């Protein structure tokens, strides 16, 4: 029986459940069985899953990494097990991967806020050492610099990719002597936490604070007002990751690939702009 291990960094995040659906579609059609693990953003838990999958003799592993240490993954490669990274990557680790253009997505979102007249734009990042967080921060900073807007370190606050992280980061921003007039939040769960804190402060969106979240969710259009987002093709990410893994099992010596998918800025009413969408193409 052919088996593939999948380790997700947060199974409670709908982004990863949609990605898993794409992985499952390809691998089940190819008669593979999926073994699933949730690291819960915990490197030790991730290592347990990786060791378990290795001992189970899986034919490959797909992982959304929870650590910035490449040693765990190099061990998998030395064992001859094909490895594909999704969503997050590690510098220097030469494996197949599927990511989105985080820099471009965050740049576009920040640029949109600037064009609406905002100059004090907050950024709520995730776990700093993760590529998704650092790249989205880089896109945010690039937009400010390009538009000649001074960068304020106090407007950049790290969360933890969870609701509570977004909640606490939003409180820190709102408690400033000069709080931001707009904020970009680096993932969907932190956006939920940030929105909860905004509502607790009885602020009006977008009149008091414009908000953009990174990643589109089903609930985004049910909010009042509907949420402007940087949408990611998460299902397609899963499809491509599984296809890369199957290719790697058949041709282990071929050059590694990094597939970069484009994001779409979906403009709704949380920034006070007319609804529309814009996609950057490579």
* pTM to 2 decimal places: 0.94
SS (H, E, C) 5-61: EEEECCCCCHHHHHHHHHHHHHHHHCCCEEEEEECCCCHHHHHHHHHHHHHCCCCEE
Per domain, the residue ranges of the chain are 3-100+233-261, 102-231+265-279
Task: Decide if 62 contacts 281 (C-beta within 8 A).
Answer: no
- What residues of the chain score a pLDDT lower than 50? 280-282
CATH topology of domain 102-231+265-279: Rossmann fold (3.40.50)
Output the pLDDT for position 278. 61
What is the model's pLDDT at position 154?
97
What pLDDT, on the 0 to 100 scale, is given for residue 72? Answer: 83
Q: CB within 8 A of 241, min separation 6: which ones?
A: 19, 22, 23, 62, 84, 86, 96, 98
Decide if 3-100+233-261 and 102-231+265-279 have a common fold.
Answer: yes
Options 3.40.50.720, 2.40.50.140, 1.50.10.10, 3.40.50.2300; CATH for 3-100+233-261 is: 3.40.50.2300
Q: Count how many Cα atoms sit within 13 Å of the Cα of residue 93 in the half-sphere of its side chain.
A: 25
Q: Can you tell me the distance from the alpha carbon of 167 to that of 190, in angstroms, rounded to the nearest whole number?
A: 7
pLDDT of residue 279: 53
273-282, pLDDT tens digit by residue?
777 766 544 3
């Amino acid at each position: 029986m052919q088996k593939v291990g999948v380790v997700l960094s947060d199974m409670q995040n709908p982004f990863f459940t949609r990605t898993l659906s794409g992985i499952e579609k390809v691998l089940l059609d190819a008669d593979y069985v999926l073994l699933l693990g949730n690291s819960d953003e915990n490197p030790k838990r991730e290592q347990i899953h990786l060791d378990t999958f290795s001992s189970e003799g899986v034919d490959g592993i797909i992982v959304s990494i929870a650590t910035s240490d490449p040693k765990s993954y190099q061990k998998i490669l030395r064992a001859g097990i094909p490895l594909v990274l999704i969503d997050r990557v590690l510098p220097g680790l030469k494996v197949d991967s599927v990511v989105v253009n985080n820099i471009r997505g965050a740049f576009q979102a920040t640029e949109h806020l600037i064009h609406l007249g905002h100059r004090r734009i907050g950024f709520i990042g995730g776990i700093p050492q993760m590529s998704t967080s650092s790249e989205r921060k880089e896109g945010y900073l690039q937009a400010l610099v390009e538009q000649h807007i001074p960068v304020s370190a106090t407007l950049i606050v790290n969360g933890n990719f969870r609701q509570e992280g977004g909640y606490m980061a939003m409180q820190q921003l709102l408690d400033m002597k000069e709080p931001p007039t707009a904020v970009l939040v680096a993932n969907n769960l932190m956006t939920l936490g940030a929105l909860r804190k905004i509502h607790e402060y009885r602020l009006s969106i977008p009149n008091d604070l414009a908000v953009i979240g990174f990643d589109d969710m089903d609930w985004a259009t049910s909010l009042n007002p509907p949420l402007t987002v940087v949408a990611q093709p998460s299902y397609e990410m899963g499809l491509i990751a599984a296809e890369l893994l199957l290719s790697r099992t058949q041709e282990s010596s071929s050059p590694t690939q990094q597939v970069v998918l484009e994001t779409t800025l979906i403009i709704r009413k949380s920034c006070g702009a007319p609804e529309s969408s814009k996609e950057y193409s490579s």
